[in-house]
Each structure stands twice: as C-alpha cells, then as structure tokens.
Amino acid sequence: MEDNKMKAMIDQAEQDLLHTYNRYQIVLDRGDGMYLYDINGKKYLDFMSGIAVFALGYGNKAYNDALKAQIDKILHTSNYFYNEPAITAAARLKKVSGMDRVFFTNSGAEAVEGALKSAMKHAFLKDGGRSHQVIAMENSFHGRTYGALSVTGNPHYREAFGQMPCDVQFARLNDLDSVKALYNDKTCAVIVEPVQGEGGLLPASEDFLKGLRAFCDEKGILLIFDEIQCGMGRTGSMFAWHRFGIRPDIMTCAKALGCGVPVGAFLMTEEVGQSSLVAGDHGTTYGGNPFACAAINAVLDQYEALDLVHHVTETAPYLTQTLDRLASQYSCITEHRGVGFMQGLVFDRPVGPIIRDAMDKGLILINAGANIIRFVPALVTEKEHIDEMAEILGAAIAGNLAE
C-alpha cells in the first residue's frame, strides 16, 4: 500500500512537472541529522547533502528557530529599502570571505550571471568596448542560465541552445599555457572553480591559481573564482582559495551559504566595486530579502558554534583514507580525487547502477559525470557516518561486480 502511494505521487509529478530531471524513484519526506526519510519511513544516510547544500545536516534547531523567528517578523521588503538581516549578513560575509562588496542573489547560477556582468561592465568602463571575451575551463560547471551556461565547459550542456550570449574560450585546468594561448585584447576575465565539482572533483593546483593571479594582474583582467560548491568550508578552509591566499577580483558562492534556503551571492574587491555595476545595471526582486539573509546569519552562527571548518580539517582525512581503502580493494575504481568533504571515486564503468544499488541499501550518493561517484556530505559528518557509508558502498560495488 505504501509503495502504491509513492508510485501515485511520482506519477502525478510526472504529469505536472516539466521533465528536466531524471529523478530517483523516491519521495523524500523529512530529515534528521545525517539521515533522510522517505514517505514510507525508510531511512537513508545522505552523502549528497542536497548537492553540497546542507552543511549543517538536517534539523539543526538553532538554524530552524532563527528562520521561524524571521517568518514572524517580515519575509520580504524589496531592495528599495534596507533590511537589518541583509546589512548584518553582508558585513559578516565580507569578514569570513576577505572580499569587499556583496550582492545577494537567489541562486548560484544567478551569482555567476552577476559576476560576468560585473566583469563586462568593468571592461567597458576601462576600454569603451562592447565586445569582450571570457576564458573559462574545460569540464567546468557554472550553471544552466544563459550566461552561466556560456562559461560551462561541457559542450553537451550548450549544444541545443545555439549562440551563447558571452564570447567564451575554454582552457585546460592546471595548464596555464593553455590560458595564455587564448588571451587577446578583448579578454576581460578568467573564471575558474578552485575545485571542479560537476566536472569531476578536480582541484586547481596552487601553482596554477598563483599563475592565473599573476597573469590577470599583468594583463589587467579580472580573476573570478566560482566557490558555489567548493566554498563555505567544504575543502577545509572557509573558501577554497583561502588555502593558498590567492584572492580573486570577483567570487561567487551559494549552496551551503543558505543551507537549504535558496540564496547566493557574488562578491568583489573594492576596486571592482567602484568600477563596474552602478544603480540600474543589475537587480533582483528577492535577492537579499530578510528571510534569505536571516538564513545566512543563522548559518554563519552555526559555523562558529560548531567550529565546522576545523571539523572538516579533522574529519576529512578519515574520508580520504576510507576512499583510498575502497579504491585499493576494488579494481574497478581507477582513481581517487578531491579535497576535504568534496571527493570522488573514478570507476572504469558507469556508476549509475552502483548508486541505485546503494540507494536501495539506504545510502544516497551522487555522480559527477557517467563514471564518477561524488562525496559531498554535510560538514557535520563524523567518522561513524563514513564507516557506515563505506560498508554500504562496498556492498553495492561488490554486488555489481558479481553481476
């Protein structure tokens, strides 16, 4: 009877929702800590965390209480007015990021759109030209809106949508010469994920990022870091570029910034802030509203209270060791990549069947491409959760090898 209820709900969704996702055949109902439960009460250990969103896990009381309190005050005002949560959140985000100016958005893709517009306006004010080029990375992922899609380095995502709004050339991650070879007098910015997520859990090297910074400074172009997935403590520092001290001119963030409330931001240096977007150049109805910014403040409160970034630096090495052990145990695993709580196992075969089998056994995982399993759990993950994950995943791998 319960299975019939879930099937009926899924069938209804497929009649009503635009089919742009190949969803797993599960209707989720609630979460508690590291676990999710479907409408039948089945329990799942979650190592996806809403695609690197739920850094605090599910049901954090202080976070929930802060949102409930804001609901009783005011949800929205529009950006024709100031609101206290946004003022507080902007100051705090500046402090933890090391950037100077903040624009709040509704999503990561929207943050990328704003970053690109800022870079284009900065170049226009500098040289008066209206045709500029951006250098992005192969295998990158920055979002599915038109501007963000333009700089996404997988042709498959772009090919059905014709001419992109940005002139973009694609270099190779960790190959500085490939970036330099694409530079011309129309180049206005380079955009890079310090750790590629969707593209395969590939970290940018310190030498590459330092080389990019020096090259952008030499040519007078902007360096944009997309920290939407790798930021907010996931790599063991608040933002991934903090590990190397290589400050961008513009940075995007989202996902764990709101821990479930849809919110993002793009941030910039004071120099870019003073020579790019002005009143009328950019806007958003919902971005920076009191509810979304109350979520940011509650998230930052919990990062401090739980010392989450330090927890990642302490616990992520155990995840690394565990995945190394799995890689040595199963010959179908060809590579282990990543850093912090953003890691991946590369397989010699499609991982879809393994992920589905693991889900049947009570473990939620996500892929990154056809042959990579991505591990982006909540930042509150403990060693016992990693052990539980490894036991289930190992059984799923072994079961697929036996078939």
Tens digit of pLDDT per residue, the chain (403 long)?
567 899 999 999 999 999 989 899 999 999 999 999 999 999 999 999 999 999 999 999 999 999 999 999 999 999 999 999 999 999 999 999 999 999 999 999 999 999 999 999 999 999 988 889 999 999 999 999 999 999 999 888 888 888 888 899 999 999 999 999 999 999 999 999 999 999 999 999 999 999 999 999 999 999 999 999 999 999 999 999 999 999 999 999 999 999 999 999 999 999 999 999 999 999 999 999 999 999 999 999 999 999 999 999 999 999 999 999 999 999 999 999 999 999 999 999 999 999 999 999 999 999 998 999 999 999 999 999 999 999 999 999 999 886 5
Instruction: Tell me, yes or no, whether 327 and 203 share the same domain.
Output: no
What is the rounded distance in angstroms from the CA atom of residue 33 to the CA atom of residue 49? 10
Instruction: Tell me, yes or no, whether 108 and 230 share the same domain.
Output: yes
Instruction: Tell me, yes or no, whether 93 and 213 share the same domain.
Output: yes
Instruction: Tell me, yes or no, whether 140 and 287 share the same domain.
Output: yes
Instruction: Tell me, yes or no, whether 140 and 276 share the same domain.
Output: yes
What is the rounded distance in angstroms from the CA atom of residue 226 to the CA atom of residue 16? 33
Among residues 286, 306, 326, the one where a domain terminates is: 306
Position 230 in a domain: yes
Position 205 in a domain: yes
Position 67 in a domain: no
How many domains in the chain?
A: 2
HEC secondary structure over 55-69: CCCECCHHHHHHHHH
Among residues 306, 327, 357, the one where a domain terminates is: 306
Instruction: Tell me, yes or no, whether 340 and 209 share the same domain.
Output: no
Instruction: Tell me, yes or no, whether 126 and 236 share the same domain.
Output: yes
What is the rounded distance in angstroms from the CA atom of residue 106 to the CA atom of residue 91? 18
CA distances for 296 relative to 35, 198, 363, angstroms: 23, 24, 28
- Token pair 């709101």 is at which residue? 258
Instruction: Tell me, yes or no, whether 18 and 153 share the same domain.
Output: no
What's the domain range around 238? 73-306
Check which CATH number belongs to the domain holding 83 and give it: 3.40.640.10
What is the rounded distance in angstroms from the CA atom of residue 185 to the CA atom of residue 205? 27
Position 237 in a domain: yes
Q: Is 285 exposed, middle or buried (0-12, 13-18, 19+ CB in 10 A)?
A: exposed
Check which CATH number belongs to the domain holding 321 and give it: 3.90.1150.10
- Token pair 């943050």 is at which residue? 111
Instruction: Tell me, yes or no, whether 258 and 148 share the same domain.
Output: yes
Single pTM value for the model: 0.96
Among residues 306, 335, 359, the one where a domain terminates is: 306
